[in-house]
């Protein structure tokens, strides 16, 4: 259903898009805060934060697959999309802040996750469309190719700049997004030092996936700050671009970030481009809504053909 009464909607595949009569007092853009693309994934029954997600578009949120693991000892116990509520919002310095809640619709893990869970640790959560400024949608900035990302990861490990890990405060008011959002300054930790912290006995099997080429470690500059299990999925932002997300957070050890590899970037680009095409066709429908039904059907067929290209 559309979130504000009086709006009309269409179904395009699994996506529902409001196309007419858009009315909202809570629309925000990419310039209402420093990191507007981060969202909070909440467990609906308990209102507990599960992890941090990153907006790829107004419909899709990127997270690690490990984000959906229930806090239990069962090996394959995951939350479904219907168990979750997603909160996005803005912090523009005004007294009246804006936050939006959307229920989860569908979680899609990478098709090869079960074969290689470390290199394919990405899931896309689909939600009902958020209310964003269509000309200024808050989408996570990332490099489009793995080659670019690897070069930046290498430079980060060499130069050790100050980066940021945007996440949320664990306050009593979990749903007050505007007050919870904060930027955490971090410094980069040497890869060997990081590995020794996780593997003090030098056992090679303790982090079998670890590679200085694709993983980065960081620690908060403020010694009083600690990461928690709820911060999994938070992006590592260096020079205003996200280069990876939080994979492991353990007490008294650096945070371990997995850099975006080819598989992850390919998935994010596909969903981002699919949403761009969707917006284009919704605009066409709005402009052509007075034309005969046959003409609208032709436009919709063209859109579905485009979707098929992205799914291949």
Residuewise pLDDT in 10s, the chain (312 residues): 333 332 333 334 444 443 333 334 477 777 767 788 999 999 998 888 899 999 999 889 999 998 998 866 566 688 999 999 998 875 545 555 677 889 999 999 998 888 888 888 999 999 988 888 888 888 999 999 999 999 999 999 999 999 999 888 765 444 455 555 566 889 999 988 888 888 877 666 688 888 888 999 999 988 878 888 899 999 999 999 999 999 998 878 899 999 999 999 999 999 998 888 888 887 777 777 655 555 555 655 665 555 554 444
Residue 196 phi/psi, 5° resolution? Answer: -65, -30
The reported pLDDT for the residue numbered 306 is 57
Angle at the Cα of 259 from the Cα atoms of 258 and 264, rounded to 5 degrees: 100
The reported pLDDT for the residue numbered 60 is 94
Q: Are 249 and 233 in contact (CB under 8 A)?
A: no
- Under CATH, which number does the domain 146-259 receive? 2.40.10.10
Q: Are 161 and 239 in contact (CB under 8 A)?
A: yes
The reported pLDDT for the residue numbered 12 is 40
In whole angstroms, how far apart are CA 43 and each of 33, 57, 122?
25, 22, 19
The reported pLDDT for the residue numbered 150 is 94
The reported pLDDT for the residue numbered 11 is 37
The reported pLDDT for the residue numbered 6 is 29
The reported pLDDT for the residue numbered 218 is 95
233: left (phi over 0), alpha (psi -120 to 50) or beta: left
The reported pLDDT for the residue numbered 153 is 94
Which residue in 63, 14, 33 sits closest to 268, CA to CA?
63
Indicate whether this model's pTM tops 0.75: yes
Residue 59 phi/psi, 5° resolution? Answer: -105, -30
The reported pLDDT for the residue numbered 1 is 31
Domain boundaries of the chain, sorted by first residue? 146-259
The reported pLDDT for the residue numbered 304 is 56
The reported pLDDT for the residue numbered 254 is 92
């Amino acid at each position: 259903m559309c979130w504000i009464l009086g709006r009309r909607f269409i179904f395009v595949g699994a996506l529902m898009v409001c196309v007419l009569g858009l009315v909202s007092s809570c629309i925000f853009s990419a310039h209402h805060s420093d990191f507007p693309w981060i969202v909070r994934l909440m467990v609906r029954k308990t209102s507990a934060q599960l992890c941090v997600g990153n907006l790829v578009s107004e419909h899709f949120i990127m997270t690690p697959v490990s984000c959906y693991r229930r806090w239990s000892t069962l090996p394959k116990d995951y939350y479904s999309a219907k168990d979750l509520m997603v909160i996005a919002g803005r912090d523009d310095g005004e007294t009246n802040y804006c936050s939006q809640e959307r229920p989860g619709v569908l979680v899609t893990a990478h098709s090869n996750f079960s074969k290689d869970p470390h290199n394919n640790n990405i899931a896309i959560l689909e939600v009902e469309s958020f209310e964003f400024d269509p000309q200024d949608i808050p989408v996570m900035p990332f490099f489009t190719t793995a080659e670019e990302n690897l070069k930046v990861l290498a430079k980060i490990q060499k130069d050790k700049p100050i980066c940021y890990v945007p996440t949320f405060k664990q306050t009593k008011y979990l749903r007050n997004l505007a007050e919870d959002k904060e930027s955490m300054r971090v410094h980069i930790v040497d890869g060997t030092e990081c590995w020794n912290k996780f593997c003090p006995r030098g056992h090679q099997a303790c982090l079998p996936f670890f590679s200085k080429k694709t993983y980065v470690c960081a620690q908060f500059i403020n010694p009083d700050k600690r990461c928690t299990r709820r911060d999994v999925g938070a992006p590592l932002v260096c020079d205003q671009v996200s280069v990876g997300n939080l994979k492991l957070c353990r007490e008294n050890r650096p945070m371990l970030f997995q850099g975006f590899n080819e598989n992850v970037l390919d998935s994010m680009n596909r969903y981002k481009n699919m949403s761009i095409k969707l917006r284009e066709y919704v605009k066409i429908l709005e402009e052509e809504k007075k034309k005969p039904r046959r003409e609208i059907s032709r436009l919709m067929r063209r859109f579905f053909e485009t979707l098929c290209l992205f799914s291949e």
